Structures are given as C-alpha cells and as structure tokens.
Amino acid sequence: MKVFLLGHGIAYSRSPAMHNAAFETLGMDWTYELLDVAPADLPGAIDRLRAPDVGGANVTIPHKQSVMARLDGIDADAMRAHAVNTIAREGERLVGSNTDVAGVRAAMTEVGLEPGGANAVILGGGGSARAAAVALAGAHLTFVSRHPADDDLPGTVIAWSDTALPALTRAADLLLNATPLGRKEEMPIRPAALPKHGVVIDLVYVTGGTPLVRKARSLGLRTADGWGVLLAQGAASFEVWTGKAAPRAAMRQTLAP
C-alpha cells in the first residue's frame, strides 16, 4: 500500500522518513512518498488516490482547501477548519479529515495554554491557520493575512501592514505562526513585537528551531515548535489510514529538533 503527501515545493518534508519508520516498526508493507503537485494537476492526483494500492494521503500547501471539493466525505474538524490535511480511502470513497487540529492541541498542552478567553494572534490565513482556530475554540482570535478583505476567517482579520499589529502581538497570550516564514531563516515579525508574557507556537520545523522560536526562548517565553506538531498530526494521520496505534517512539527518532 502507498500513502502520499500532496503538496507543491515539498522536498523539505520529514513526513516520509517519519511514516516509513512507523510502517517498518509495525512490519507493514506500506510506503509513504512525496507527490509534488502543481494546482493545475490536483484533479489527476486525487484520481490516483482512488487506486486499490493507495491507503490515503496527507495534504499540505497549497492544496488544503482546494482539495475539499474533490472528496466524497469530510469529517467534523475539517469542516470546521474549512481545510483538509489527511485523506483516507474507504472503499471507493475518499474521506478528508484534519489532524493539524490534533497537532496544535498537542502544542498547546506543551506550552500549558488553555484557550478559553485567551487572546491569540495567528499569523496566516490558510489551512494551518484555520486548523489552529478549531484547536483554539473559546479564544479571542486575530488573524494576520495577506488578503484580509477576502478571507472568511473565524475572528478579526488584519493585514500585515496594519500599524496595530506590533501592539497586538506584544499583548497576546499566544502568538502562533501558521505561515511558511521561518524555513529560510526569516522571522515573521520583529523581535520587539514578541509577546511580553505570552507563549509562542511555530508550526514551521527546522533543525535547531526557527528564528522565531529561538528568539522567544532567549527571552524566557514558553514555546512549542513544528517538530512536536508534526509528530502529533502524523501519528493521528497514521491511525486514520491504518486503524493501528502509531509507534510514536519510532516516529520521533526520525525527527531532529
């Protein structure tokens, strides 16, 4: 059986190593492979998932929302997030779910944050940001988006150029980066705008931590980075595809925080 990662520009992904280690540990004749798909080629990729030798897929940038119209069913978390990151083949049907929500919940547990009543600033407006919003149910959400007038997001939406942004992030109980910024050593916001007393979660994972996470840690802030999120969402996806408990220890050994 094969499982794929559908995305574009995904050569950096550690998901193949993590999932193939899990399959090997459990003695399963399954493989996890990258499937780099441009937006125009998404329909053909979805058709490939319907083959009998495919168990499912993960979905990442830029397909988490556009893939939804091509599926036969979508679970509750994915509907709430308006984004899918996991697809399971159930007979002839493709069913979408969102295990990014579980990943963000694991990060919140790591930093000791209860979302109820918290002021959270989410950088980004895509599928990962929407999954974070589901995990943060009960928080007061502000999204920072490139296209604030066009985004239907469950909270206040402001532009990156908004002059209120530094004050909002400075006062936030949670700053969560749901953009790709950080993979190439850039910071999504200036260091002076980091929360004064809040926590920082960065969904990006790079060896040694992103600049955002490293700076936040140097200031004594509680942080969680994308490695833990990757493990938690990956374990949840594994269980969706296989019906087996994920071997988290074997999966964790493939990651290099």
CATH number, domain containing residue 105 = 3.40.50.720
Claim to verify: residue 12 and residue 47 sit in the same structural domain:
yes
Cα 137 to chain centroid distance, Å, stands at: 16
- Let me know if residue 44 belongs to a domain: yes
The more confidently predicted of residues 183 and 198 is 198
Claim to verify: residue 39 and residue 81 sit in the same structural domain:
yes
Mean pLDDT value across residues 42-63: 95
- Let me know if residue 65 belongs to a domain: yes
Cα 170 to chain centroid distance, Å, stands at: 24
Claim to verify: residue 30 and residue 94 sit in the same structural domain:
yes
Contact between 30 and 1 under an 8 Å Cβ cutoff? The reply is yes
- Let me know if residue 124 belongs to a domain: yes
The set of residues, in sequence order, having a beta carbon less than 8 Å from that of 135 and lying 6+ positions away, is 101, 102, 104, 105, 108, 115
Confidence (pLDDT) at 209: 92
Query: In this structure, what is the dihedral angle of CA atoms 194, 198, 202, 203, given to the nearest 10 degrees?
Result: -140
Confidence (pLDDT) at 148: 82
Mean pLDDT value across residues 54-75: 96
Cα 133 to chain centroid distance, Å, stands at: 11
Rounded to the nearest 10 degrees, the angle between the axes of helix 100-111 and helix 127-135 is 60
Tens digits of residue pLDDT in 90-139: 998 999 999 999 999 999 999 999 999 999 999 999 999 999 999 999 99
Claim to verify: residue 216 and residue 142 sit in the same structural domain:
yes
- Let me know if residue 210 belongs to a domain: yes
Residue whose C-alpha is closest to residue 122's, from 175, 166, 162, 171? 175
Claim to verify: residue 95 and residue 136 sit in the same structural domain:
no
Indicate yes or no: pTM above 0.85: yes
Claim to verify: residue 130 and residue 70 sit in the same structural domain:
no
Catalytic residue check, 244: no
Claim to verify: residue 123 and residue 139 sit in the same structural domain:
yes
- Let me know if residue 257 belongs to a domain: no
Claim to verify: residue 49 and residue 31 sit in the same structural domain:
yes
% the chain with pLDDT above 90: 92
Residue whose C-alpha is closest to residue 214's, from 178, 187, 253? 187
- Let me know if residue 246 belongs to a domain: yes
> The domain spanning residue 24 has which CATH number?
3.40.50.10860
CB contact burial 219-251 (16+ within 10 A = b; e otherwise):
eebbbbbbbbbbbbbbbbbbebbbeeebbeeeb
- Let me know if residue 89 belongs to a domain: yes
Claim to verify: residue 184 and residue 111 sit in the same structural domain:
yes
Claim to verify: residue 218 and residue 240 sit in the same structural domain:
no
- Token representation of residue 73: 């069913």
Number of folded domains in the chain? 2
Claim to verify: residue 93 and residue 141 sit in the same structural domain:
no
Cα 209 from Cα 141, distance rounded (Å): 25
Tens digits of residue pLDDT in 216-248: 999 999 999 999 999 999 999 999 999 999 999
Question: Which is catalytic among the residues 64, 184, 196, 215?
Answer: 64
Residue ranges making up the domain that contains 204: 101-225
Claim to verify: residue 106 and residue 66 sit in the same structural domain:
no
| Opening angle at CA 169, ends 165 and 171, nearest 5 | 120
